[in-house]
Structure 1
Amino acid sequence: MSSPDPVVVILSRGQLDAVLFDLDGVVTQTALVHAAAWKRLFDTYLWKQAADPVRDFRPFTQEDYRRYVDGRPRLEGIRCFLASRGLSLPEGSSADGPDAETVHGLGKRKNAWFLEELERRGVEVDPAAVELLERLRAAGLRTAVVTSSRNGAAVLRLGGLEHLFDARVDGVEAGKLGLAGKPAPDTFLEGARRLGAAPARTAVFEDAQAGVRAGHLGGFALVIGVRRSGEAGALLRAGAHVEVEELSAVRVEGVAPLRPEFHAAGATP
């Protein structure tokens, strides 16, 4: 599978009714904040587990993040990564605090460090994502955010993005409904349901391999992989119909440009 044309045309009439967006790494750059919190969590834990830290310590890598954590629910990411290193922890419970040596405890610890890092960095929004969302909505397409993060509502609020989505399915909502996380398609299917759209008339934007697989398994009309990092073609192999590096490469048919184009720098419209 290949992506010969870097521009994707989304037809406003006749083919699609709705578009679903992952949040971290697609609409915002908070994937970087998540990755930093995960690395801090796992490097600290792995250092403590090594019999000889100087010789045996193998740090958490970007490839580990993409393969085992990115796009998955928080606790599932912990289980998957630890299993990849031959490690396991007691499950614990939601009552565990961040100091507990359990899956739930590590999850609480990671979230505390994520919120700490988010407070320090703020929410960086991709301007191209905002413009694309505005164009999609101007074309009459309904939009929803579908994220595994349990901080989805806070990120949308801090980023000033709430008005761009008709529905939200995040980790909190998925937990309430008992939905399986990505790479299962359940949360994307719920997002389409909330928009009153069939998967066959809905597009998905995802930056994580687990999320791309979820879109593929859900039978969505168009799965667009947004490659912010990593190997070219990896999202295509995971099931994306097309892979782009920037959302500015995506066009919406039948909608006038939102921004005037200037023929010279500093020109006035």
Structure 2
Amino acid sequence: MPSPTPPESPAVVLSRRQYDAALLDLDGVVTRTAQVHAAAWERLFNAFLAARAHARGEPFQPFTPEDYQRFVDGRPRLDGIRCFLESRGVSLPEGSPEDGPEAETVRGLGARKNGYFLEALQHNGVQVFPHAVGLLKRLRAAGFRTAVVSASRNCEAVVRAAGLTHLFDARVDGVEAGRLGLPGKPEPDTFLEAGRRLGVPPERAVVLEDAQAGVQAGRRGHFGLVIGVRRAGPVGALVRAGADVEVTDLSTVEVEEGAA
């Protein structure tokens, strides 16, 4: 009778001998809000594209999951709108911060999308990935410092609603990036700012991201380790975008106990 197959070894082992901090994206890594964002983007762009096609007598080409991954996921809200519209050859006025959701401007579309997201969040609440919360607790017990780094301007509200505030030493989100004039992912500036707030240089920090733009930011920032968290999409896409390793379940990320 053949011997049983040994269990697979952990995909990653994090040790204080190598690293001092972990910088985690929020949507799709810690909370299940990435799906809520994706649905809000689909609702926004499909309504916009359908109305535009009807007005011009052109065929309607819907917003696809591939569009979301390539142009929107992980980017600041307005950057995502600009990138996607450019991909379709659509030009809209930038508008002003006072534009409401009815305005046919970049900022107006941003306000509309945010309204859809908040509406869904109010109805469905915030769900977390239990293994992500478990990893955060193990990291902190081992002496790692932790930060949440998100393009979302709703990050603080989502973290608070999920009851996760105590698990992060720092937060760099869309609000903070706007206040400091930091470019969003795929540029590394928000991750670098999080490391600065924790007092940890990039080579001593680990980045955990589910979006290609976020993985690219981690690679461009020369962080010690970039972990791609694949919740959807093709196998290996995050590695091709720059991740050192790709995992599908954060329970496979082990934390070595003991001081640095």
Q: TM-score range by the shorter chain?
A: over 0.9
1:75 corresponds to 2:78: yes
Change in CA separation of 1:91 and 1:5 when aligned onto 2, cut-off 3 Å: farther
Cα separation, 1, equivalents of 2:37 and 2:53: 24
Cα separation, 2, equivalents of 1:61 and 1:154: 28
Q: 1:143 aligns with which of 125, 141, 146?
A: 146
Partner of residue 110, structure 2: 107
Partner of residue 63, structure 2: 60
8 Å CA contact retained: 1:47, 1:53: no
1:166-245 aligned at under 5 Å gives the runs 166-245=169-248
Partner of residue 8, structure 1: 12
8 Å CA contact retained: 1:6, 1:244: no
Partner of residue 25, structure 1: 28
Question: How far apart are residue 88 of structure 1 and its match?
Answer: 1.5
Aligned-residue identity in percent = 67
Change in CA separation of 1:6 and 1:86 when aligned onto 2, cut-off 3 Å: farther
Question: How far apart are residue 229 of structure 1 and its match?
Answer: 0.3
Which structure 1 residue ranges, 4+ long, deviate > 6 Å from structure 2? 52-55
Cα separation, 1, equivalents of 2:10 and 2:29: 17
Counterpart code for 1:10 = L
Change in CA separation of 1:249 and 1:54 when aligned onto 2, cut-off 3 Å: farther
Show CA shifts across 1:19-67 (max 9, x none).
Answer: 0000000000100000000000000000011147997111111111111
TM-score by length of 2: 0.94
Partner of residue 131, structure 1: 134
Partner of residue 4, structure 2: none
Unaligned runs of 5+ in 1: 256-269
Counterpart code for 1:7 = A
Q: Secondary structure at the match of 1:220?
A: coil
Cα separation, 1, equivalents of 2:57 and 2:132: 43
Q: Secondary structure at the match of 2:127?
A: coil
Cα separation, 2, equivalents of 1:170 and 1:22: 9
TM-score by length of 1: 0.91
Unaligned runs of 5+ in 2: 1-7
Q: 1:153 aligns with which of 147, 153, 156?
A: 156
